[in-house]
Amino acid sequence: MRPVPLVLAALAATPALAQEPFWPPEFNTLITESAGYCEGDFSLVDGTVSQVDLNGDGTQDWLLDAGGFRCSTDATLYCGTVGCGVDTLIDGTRGLLTLHSWEVLTEDGVTYLTAPNDAGQTVRFLWSGTEWVLQ
C-alpha cells in the first residue's frame, strides 16, 4: 500500500473538500483530529477508509483503520501494542474496536468482523445493531 498525502490545510480552508463525499463527515472529523496530533507530515495509506458489508445486510458500511495513519515524526503515534483503532459506521451508528488486523467473514449467513487476539487466535465480533460483541 502506498501513502496518500492528506493536505489538511486544504481541508480546513476549503469547506467543499471537508465535505468530500468519498467518506462520511464523521470520518473527516476523526482524520482531521488525528492529523492534529502529528507534529510532522501526516498521510493516509490506501485502504485506510474502506466500504465493506460489515453486518450482512447487503449494503456497504464504512470502516476507518487508524493503522493506515502515517506521521513522519512518530511511527507509533496511532497504534500501540494492543493494536490500532478501527472505527465503523453502520446504518449511522459508530462502533469502535482496537485490533491488530481485521477481515470480514460470512458463515452460515452471519457476517463477522474477525481479528487475531493477543494469543494469535482468530476471534469474531458480531454487530448487534449498536455495538460490536465478541462471540
Beta-carbon contacts of 126 under 8 Å, excluding residues fewer than 6 positions away, are: 110, 112, 113, 132, 133, 135
CA 49/CA 35 separation, integer angstroms: 15
Q: What is the CA radius of gyration of the chain?
A: 15
83-104 mean pLDDT: 96
Q: Is the pLDDT of residue 15 over 80?
A: no
Question: What pLDDT is recorded for position 118?
Answer: 86
Structure-block grid coordinates of residue 99:
485490533
Predicted pLDDT at 22: 83
What is the domain partition of the chain in residue ranges?
3-100
Mean pLDDT of the chain, nearest integer: 87
Q: Could you tell me the pLDDT band of residue 98, with boundaries at 50, 70 and 90? A: very high
Q: For 2-14, write each residue's pLDDT tens digit.
A: 344 443 333 333 3
CA nearest neighbour of 57 among 88, 93, 90: 90
Prediction pTM value: 0.82
pLDDT tier at 18 (50, 70, 90 boundaries)? very low
Identify the band that residue 68 occupies on the pLDDT scale cut at 50, 70 and 90: very high
Q: What pLDDT, on the 0 to 100 scale, is given for residue 16?
A: 37
Give percent above pLDDT 70 in the chain: 84
Q: Which pLDDT score, from 0 to 100, does residue 17 have?
A: 36
The cell 487476539 sits on which residue? 117
Higher pLDDT, 1 or 108: 108
